[in-house]
Amino acid sequence: MKKHILFVLPYLNQGGTEKQALSLIEGLRDRYKISFIAPDGKGAPQFRALPITQREFTRWDFNFFKGLPELLRGIKEIQKEQAIDLVHVHGAHELMLPVRLALGKVPVIFTVHGYHGDSAKISYQLSCLFNNLLANQVIAVCEAEYNLLKELGLNEKKLHLVYNGVKEPILNQQKSLEFAQKFNLDPPNQIILGTAARLNEAKGLTYLLKAFAALTPNPSPIGRGEQELILVIAGNGDLETSLKQESQDLGIGDRVIFTGYLDDLPNLMQLFDIFVLPSLQEACSLACAEAMSQSKPVVGTCVGGIAEQVSDRQTGFIVNPRDPESLAAKLRELINDQELRDRFAKKGYERYQQLFSSEIMLNKTAELYDLAIAS
């Protein structure tokens, strides 16, 4: 009989935490029996479509006194179907407490997906406290987070580095053509800069807009003739309206395309010439890994795990956050040098294969599962 793994998530939005958990569930279903419990949300349909045992509870930040008993009851119902061998909690360290109350000494693995905002340091400190008390193993998704957690007192014997990984996409040229038509993109006659992110403060998109504005008038790329410069921003979030207004105020509104959230990001990303990640806070970016899997040169900021994903001057450029002038300068260098873009693209794909493939992530995670269950 397959070992039974329970996944616990605090929400089902459309962010990196959910995408990484979904990848693990889909990739490990052949090795383990996997069950799942999480609140409802915009990202729920992809999870609900999976042929696995599932339960739902109310988000604690919506109604703690309703959500806690629902979570406890859901865990116990799943346990009755088949004894749970291990629980993998994602993103919210406080959820380990009801897991322990419901299941006692069943091994618990917790993945730190990165904390954002002004209270990030407090969240990391609390995570260390909860993990030292309640977790058997802890996964950090980049070395920067690994080192930070260790510095803040997390028991190093529990701590493991497992980079977020993504599948190499199976691209559909027809779907990419449909995206090009939908968003009025003309790849042969444009250089398309692109990013994919939640539209919030942590992603630094206002600095990307300022950098893009600084690139006007359009440079004339060497060897490719006069081409229009376009910026594509894929994603949704609280700042969508203000970012659109800012692009108008900067005089670039006609060349900045906001696509909204897309389930099929790889076929849009296929149209990009350069991927840009101007984040102010970041752990291990799935969008960056997806860009590397498609051989896209990347310009990113030196925060979190981005500098581990992007090897500066080998697979792309690393710049300081909140520095639109430096960002514009590196973008201009890539825009004007097709040979440099091609070299970065090739090396970036090789780096993806070495460190950020889905297969590597799945195998390392399964090793931790087996280790925790055996001990």
The pTM assigned to this predicted structure is 0.92
Alpha-carbon gap, residue 124 to 126, rounded angstroms: 5
Q: Of 48, 110, 152, give the one whose Cα is nearest residue 372.
A: 110
Tokens of 313: 């001057």
Task: Give the separation between CA 52 and CA 329, rounded to whole angstroms.
Answer: 49
- Listing DSSP states for 111-171 in one string gives EE----STTHHHHHHHHHHHHHHH-SEEEESSHHHHHHHHHTT--GGGEEE----BPPP--
Taking every pair of C-alpha atoms in the chain, what is the biggest distance, in angstroms? 67
pLDDT tens, per residue, the chain with 375 residues = 899 999 999 999 888 899 999 999 999 999 999 999 999 999 999 999 999 999 999 999 999 999 999 999 999 999 999 999 999 999 999 999 999 999 999 999 999 998 988 888 999 999 999 999 999 999 999 999 999 999 999 999 999 999 999 999 999 999 999 999 999 999 999 999 999 999 999 999 999 999 999 997 654 444 445 689 999 999 999 999 999 999 999 999 999 999 999 989 999 999 999 999 999 999 999 999 999 999 999 999 999 999 999 999 999 999 999 999 999 999 999 999 999 999 999 999 999 999 999 999 999 999 999 999 998
Q: Which domains does the chain have, with CATH numbers?
A: 4-165+357-374 (3.40.50.2000), 173-355 (3.40.50.2000)
Contact 10, 40 (CB under 8 A): no
